[in-house]
Amino acid sequence: MLSKTTEYAIRALVYISVSNKNGKRPGFKEISEEISSPEQFTAKILQTLTRHGLVNSARGRGGGFFFDEQHSDSINLYKVISIFEGKKYFSRCGIGLQGCSADQPCPFHCEFERIRNDYERLVREETIASLSEKVKLGEAILKRK
Amino acid sequence: MLSKTTEYAIRALVYISVSNKNGKRPGFKEISEEISSPEQFTAKILQTLTRHGLVNSARGRGGGFFFDEQHSDSINLYKVISIFEGKKYFSRCGIGLQGCSADQPCPFHCEFERIRNDYERLVREETIASLSEKVKLGEAILKRK
DNA sequence: TCATTAAAAGACCTTTTTATCTGTTTTAAT
DNA sequence: ATTAAAACAGATAAAAAGGTCTTTTAATGA
């Protein structure tokens, strides 16, 4: 399971992407409003994302967050998750055994690895752009009304 | 991902099952030693498990933890996880949208649900007994040497 | 130029999770 | 009865996660 930080990050990026497609650059207040996340905490998460170059920001009037030239289709969820959870997230043991491996497996190793790999494959496929497309088409939402 | 509490709980139960098969009733000190978990914290987790009836304990000299008559094959990981993470663990949205459902899905809903259901199926199949069997056969370990 | 706007940065606070410590009660063997 | 082993309970401490607030910096338009 993901931390709230990562979840907010994904929803925020998707919202930015949708908003950009409508020709706008949302600020953190609008973003947090539209994805139901705490304002200041969201701002902090966005800072981290810009520092890592996943999204751009512009200061001053008319500023806000944005992707340059549909860069959002090259950002998959794997990238976002890695930033906040660390790469080890995708190699962790299912019952917390340190150094669990094919060599010295915990009794849950094989079975869990299959699921974890499925998950990794999925988050590598899904991009901010692919998710935002669904929202734009009205097939999905980012906030419960 | 599971909390450490849940991970320790699973490893502890598996160890108790293995130990029981060898005709013994381990105490919390032995258990925490054999699964590399903090002693007192493990004791507390074991208390919770006995309170929920997943395992039995005997006080006094010669006491310790045990399953009655191979009851351990009726305890699946789903039960253990539910106790510590709550049932909602298996219906949670992949990106934290409150009330995410087929009706009002987040853009990640479908894809994530598949993985989550696979995981649920797996933890319902796997039991303390099935895991401990592997350890007993030497196919798996609970502690890194 | 200057007031306004908005993000960046960092200090700070709160809650939850993880872990430890201390002590009490129960029980069984001797 | 005594003693030792072990469960059980509660308080506390440390660390991590989650969240807020204030100050600084930069861009913009009037």
Per-position DSSP letters for A42-98, written without gaps between them: HHHHHHHHHHTTSSEEE-STT-EEE-STTGGGG-BHHHHHHHHH-GGGGT--TT--T
Q: Do A105 and B140 touch (CB under 8 A)?
A: yes
Instruction: Say how far A139 CA is from D28 C1', in Å.
Output: 37
Of A62-76, A91-105, B48-62, B75-89, least confident by mean pLDDT is A62-76
pLDDT band at B28 (very low <50, low <70, confident <90, very high): very high
pLDDT of residue A60: 81
pLDDT at B14 over 70: yes
By CB atoms closer than 10 A (0-12, 13-18, 19+), residue B87 is exposed
Contacts by A21-24, CB closer than 8 A, 24 or more apart: A21/A132, A21/A136, A24/A64
pLDDT tens digits for range A82-135: 999 998 899 999 999 998 999 999 999 999 999 999 999 999 999 999 999 999
Instruction: Say how far B68 CA is from C19 C1', in Å.
Output: 30
Residue of A88, A94, A97 lying closest to A113 (CA atoms): A94
Instruction: Say how far A40 CA is from C13 C1', in Å.
Output: 13
**Mean of all residue pLDDT scores within chain B:** 92
pLDDT at B60 over 80: yes
> Can you tell me the distance from the alpha carbon of B22 to that of B135, in angstroms, rounded to the nearest whole number?
12
Q: Quick one: which residue's CA is nearest to D5's C1'?
A: B61
Q: Do B142 and A1 touch (CB under 8 A)?
A: no
8-state DSSP, A138: T
Q: Dihedral, CA atoms, B115, B116, B119, B123, nearest 10 degrees?
A: -170
pLDDT of residue A90: 95
Q: Do B1 and A118 touch (CB under 8 A)?
A: no
pLDDT tens digits for range A30-60: 999 899 999 989 999 999 999 888 999 988 8
Q: What is the mean pLDDT of residues B91-120?
A: 94
Q: What is the mean pLDDT of residues A16-21?
A: 91
pLDDT at A71 over 80: no
pLDDT of residue A135: 96
Neighbours of B85 (CB within 10 A): 17
B70 or A61: which leads in pLDDT: A61
Q: Helix crossing, A28-35 with A4-21: angle to 10°?
A: 110
Residues contacting nucleic strand C by the 7 Å CB criterion are: A 26-29, 40, 43-44, 46-47, 50-51, 57-65; B 3-5, 8, 37-41, 43-44, 58-63
Give the residue carrying structure tokens 């810009």. Answer: A50
Q: Helix crossing, B77-85 with B109-125: angle to 10°?
A: 120
